[in-house]
Structures are given as structure tokens and as C-alpha cells.
Amino acid sequence: MSTLTDPEPAEEIVPRILERYSERPRGWHIMNTPRGEVLVLSSDSAFQLKLIPLNPREFTGAGVELPESNDIVDSIRASPEFGLRPISETDLQGIANSMSGAQDARDEIGEILSRTPLSLEDLSSNQSSHILRGPVLTRPDLGSLSPEILKMQLSLDRSAQKTFRKRYPMRAGMYV
């Protein structure tokens, strides 16, 4: 991560990430924090975001595509693969049984996670009424991963706040 790119509004970068996911839903990994910091990794790209929630379905903020990989990013890529997977009533019953100790939860969840994730288009045409989304790794803050990620996080925080104040001045004024 020797060269840093300029942050862009989340409203522009997130649709690009979703489009890439839909083109190839395998090999994705996500890590987030309670403060809206997010790393989104595919097998060949990495994005760092700072999201500010507006309501449960909308957000604003800033993001950047990271130019290079590093050991930290590569270690996250070794975690279980993120995806959107349809699950059946039988799957739900198996998960419930594993929570009550009737069977091993690792086997049940592992079997579901081994299934190929669906693209957004395939998901919308799927007849399943239940979707398992994840896994998403969570940590208290992304900046502790590496100095490069901390530096980018500080830049994204400033850019996200600037975007928030510009697009939602009345809301932003409530948080001064």
C-alpha cells in the first residue's frame, strides 16, 4: 500500500463493489467496526470505506480502492468466504438444533458456508425465503491493523464527514 488514492463518495464506490460481487460472488471477505469502518476484499481487489448511517437502509461516507495488497489484507483473505446463501427450513432447523446442543454447530454452519454464494441477480430470482449473509469479521477499529490502514482511515473519516456535511447539512448540524 505504498500509493494512496483519493477517497470518493460511498454513493459511487459501493455500487461498483456490488457490481463486482455480482459478476463474481466467490472470494469475498468483509471486516467492519461498530464505527462504520469497513474493509471489503475480493480475490483481486481491496476497498476501505467509512460509512455514516442515515437510516437502516441508507448511508453516506467515503471509500477508496486500495492499490496494493499487504500481509494484513492477505490474512483477512484467509478467513471464511463472505456470501449470500439461500437456506432452507431444514437448514434453519439444523441451526436451531445446533444452538440447543443437539448437534455440532460447526458442522451445520460449515456445510452452509461451503455452498457457493449467489450473485445479487441470482438471489432475486431464487425462491428461498431465507438468506444467510456473511460471515463478516468485526473488530473495534481498523486502524490497529496497520499504519497504512490507519492513515487511510483518518483520510476517509475526514472525507466522509465532509460528504455528510455537504449532502445533509441539517443533519450534520445536529452532531456538532
- For the stretch 63-99, pLDDT in tens is 999 887 778 888 888 888 999 999 988 888 888 887 7
Are 110 and 43 within one domain? no
Q: Quick check: 94 and 103 in contact, CB under 8 A?
A: yes
Question: How many angstroms separate the Cα of 129 from the Cα of each of 72, 80, 85, 88, 109?
Answer: 36, 24, 11, 8, 18
Query: Domains in the chain: how many in total?
Result: 2
In sequence order, which residues have a C-beta less than 8 Å from that of residue 107 and are 6 or more positions away? 98
Task: Give the span between the Cα atoms of 143 and 24, in whole angstroms.
Answer: 28
User: 101 and 38 in one domain?
Assistant: no
Task: Find which of 25-29, 94-98, 126-130, 168-172 is predicted with most confidence, using mean pLDDT.
Answer: 25-29
Q: Check whether residue 106 and residue 51 sit in a common domain.
A: no
- The answer to whether 61 and 11 are in contact (CB under 8 A) is no
29 vs 110: which has the higher pLDDT: 29
Residues 51 and 9 in one domain: yes
Q: What is the pTM of this model?
A: 0.85
Q: Are 43 and 62 contained in the same domain?
A: yes
Q: Which has more confidence, 173 or 126? A: 126
Q: Report the candidate in 6, 21, 20, 18 with the shortest Cα–Cα distance to residue 62.
A: 6
Residue 135 to residue 30: CA distance in whole angstroms: 8
Q: Which three cell numbers stand for residue 115?
A: 455452498
Q: Which residue has the higher pLDDT, 169 or 128?
A: 169
Query: Is a pLDDT exceeding 60 seen at residue 102?
Result: no
pLDDT single digits (tens) 132-169: 999 999 999 998 998 989 999 999 999 999 999 998 88
Between residues 102 and 21, the one the model is more confident about: 21
Q: How far apart are CA 80 and CA 135, in angstroms?
A: 7
Phi-psi region for residue 72, left (φ > 0), alpha (ψ -120 to 50) or beta?
alpha
pLDDT given at position 13: 96
Residues 24 and 78 both lie in one domain: yes
Q: Which domain holds residue 110?
A: 85-131
